[in-house]
């Protein structure tokens, strides 16, 4: 997605450890126009599929997921990283290890928000080693929903996540695919040298 790649080139900050900081428009301050365009693009890509629900994980997946939900006119469910006191025991859970934060979170979704009749599109902001998405897919399997596919805003294609998802036979669509970082420069998959 050209608009997104341009924005990453303009505002993305490459941090040590192959981490891209995008808190100008996605992870802290949010650009609603860009998020809406992202939602439209996810809707276009998955348009022929039946989708009844979108599943993401808090916090940064919520902005793109809610815009896709708006365009597709379906509810958006986000997995919680900490179990709130108001959440009862009827939850689906999965363990997610975060390489960026080096902690394991148990993510959970109230069972009443996912059922076997649902056709679910999973959305997240980043795909790195695939642990977050894998946890969401694990929850989908527990709920016995139809997994329509996975939509990612920024895929770091040099890490294992994409393979991990595709090896499970799950359709993956990433709007920006990063091939490598070189100093403070971002190289996208398929880009030609200027």
Select the span of 1-9, 86-94, 121-129, 141-149 touching ligand 5GP (CB under 6 A): 121-129
- Rounded Cα distance between 188 and 89, Å, is 43
User: Can residue 22 be called a binding residue for ligand 5GP (CB under 6 A)?
Assistant: yes
User: Can residue 137 be called a binding residue for ligand 5GP (CB under 6 A)?
Assistant: no
- The H-assigned helical ranges of the chain are 2-11, 32-45, 62-72, 131-143, 161-166
Least CB distance to ligand 5GP at residue 98 (A): 6
Residue closer to ligand 5GP (CB basis): 52 or 179: 179
Task: Let me know if 8 is exposed, middle or buried by CB neighbors in 10 A (0-12, 13-18, 19+).
Answer: buried
Is 39 annotated to bind ligand? Answer: no
User: Can residue 157 be called a binding residue for ligand 5GP (CB under 6 A)?
Assistant: no
Residue closer to ligand 5GP (CB basis): 43 or 132: 132
Is 81 annotated to bind ligand? Answer: no
- Rounded Cα distance between 29 and 13, Å, is 14
- HSE, CB side, 13 Å, CA atoms: give it for residue 68: 32
Q: What angle do CA 132, 138, 139 make, to 5 degrees?
A: 95
The residues, any chain, with a CB within 8 Å of residue 146's CB and separated by 6 or more, are 50, 118, 119, 120
Contacting residue, 99, 113, 158, 188, with ligand 5GP by CB under 6 A: 99
Residue closer to ligand 5GP (CB basis): 120 or 154: 154
Cα-based distances in Å from 168 to 92, 161, 190? 20, 11, 24
Count interface residues toward ligand 5GP (CB under 6 A).
Answer: 20
Enumerate the β-bridge partners of residue 156. Answer: 178
Is 131 annotated to bind ligand? Answer: yes
Select the span of 34-42, 82-90, 129-137, 138-146 touching ligand 5GP (CB under 6 A): 129-137
Select the span of 48-56, 125-133, 169-177, 179-187 touching ligand 5GP (CB under 6 A): 125-133
What are the binding residues for xanthine? Answer: 20, 27, 156
């Amino acid at each position: 997605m050209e608009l997104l790649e341009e924005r990453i080139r303009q505002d993305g900050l490459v941090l040590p450890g192959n981490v891209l900081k995008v808190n100008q428009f996605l992870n802290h301050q949010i650009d609603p126009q860009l998020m809406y365009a992202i939602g439209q693009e996810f809707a276009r890509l998955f348009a022929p599929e039946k989708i009844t629900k979108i599943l993401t994980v808090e916090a940064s997946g919520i902005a793109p997921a809610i815009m896709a939900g708006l365009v597709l006119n379906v509810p958006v469910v986000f997995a919680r990283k900490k179990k709130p006191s108001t959440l009862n025991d009827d939850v689906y859970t999965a363990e997610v290890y975060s390489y960026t934060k080096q902690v394991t979170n148990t993510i959970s979704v109230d069972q009443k928000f996912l059922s076997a009749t649902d056709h679910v599109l999973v959305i997240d902001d980043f795909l790195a080693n695939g642990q977050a998405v894998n946890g969401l897919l694990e929850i989908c399997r527990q709920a016995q929903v139809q997994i329509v596919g996975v939509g990612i805003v920024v895929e770091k294609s040099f890490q294992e996540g994409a393979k991990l998802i595709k090896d499970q036979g799950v359709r993956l669509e990433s709007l920006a695919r990063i091939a490598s970082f070189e100093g403070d420069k971002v190289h996208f998959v398929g880009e030609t040298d200027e």
